[in-house]
Amino acid sequence: MTTPPADPTATPATALIADLVTAVDHVGIAVPDLDAAKKWYADNLGFVTLHQETNVEQGVEEAMIGPAGADASGAAVIQLLAPLNEESTIAKFIARSGAGLQQLAVRVTDVDAVCERLTGAGIRVLYPAPKRGTADSRINFVHPKDAGGVLLELVEPAAHGVGH
Ligand code: KFV
């Protein structure tokens, strides 16, 4: 069964940030060994590495993986997150919960406006101003305690990128 593309004009205008959210961008998985995780997804799902970088501020070596072409189409992908050091939020996460799903990220058109609206509604975002994310995106996070137990990332892609 195929699902028809969503009609943006059909989105209820009453939702807090509905007009600013365009897609599920990625799910982030905390992994202790990036190369081993990439190999597992390549060997079993045929996923390729679409992008890889080190983000020192976030304490991660990360790889965006998915079906070939997922980056061009803007489809949701998987972000493998390995800790750079013991102080990394990913190291803390793995120590507490083990490897596994660490975050869900949604793509937004204006992360500043999103954060302003969320904060105004009493929903905690982690940073007073967005930080640099994957491929020069601008990111912030909703605290997991204010998002049903899920760390929710808000991603505004760089102007030169499709998504991710
Ligand atoms: N998911 C769900 N619950 C979580 C959680 C997570 N990822 N991390 C922490 N918690 C829960 C935790 O179990 C605890 O619950 C509570 O939140 C506070 O934990 O019922 P409990 O036991 O009280 P803390 O404060 O001990 O946790 P801590 O690890 O110190 O901080 C949590 C948090 C969310 C503030 C921290 O992980 C954070 O600042 N995360 C945002 C940055 C991040 O995750 N960076 C790595 C990914 S970089 C990335 O995604 C990039 C670069 N990108 O572009 O996409």
With a 6 A CB cut-off, is 89 part of the ligand 1 pocket?
yes
pLDDT tens digits along 93-121 = 999 999 999 999 999 999 999 999 999 99
Q: pTM for the full model?
A: 0.93
Nearest atom of ligand 1 to the alpha carbon of 55 = 52
CATH code linked to domain 19-156: 3.10.180.10
Instruction: Give residue 5 CA to ligand 1 midpoint distance, Å.
Output: 33
Q: What is the pLDDT of residue 7?
A: 59
CA distances from 123 to 20, 33, 104, 148, 152 (A): 16, 33, 16, 11, 12
Report domain extents, the chain.
19-156
Nearest atom of ligand 1 to the alpha carbon of 59 = 46
Taken in order 41, 87, 25, 146, the sign of the CA dihedral is: positive
Residue 8 confidence (pLDDT) above 90: no
Q: How far apart are CA 90 and CA 59, in angstroms?
A: 8
Instruction: Give residue 41 CA to ligand 1 midpoint distance, Å.
Output: 24
Q: What is the pLDDT of residue 3?
A: 62
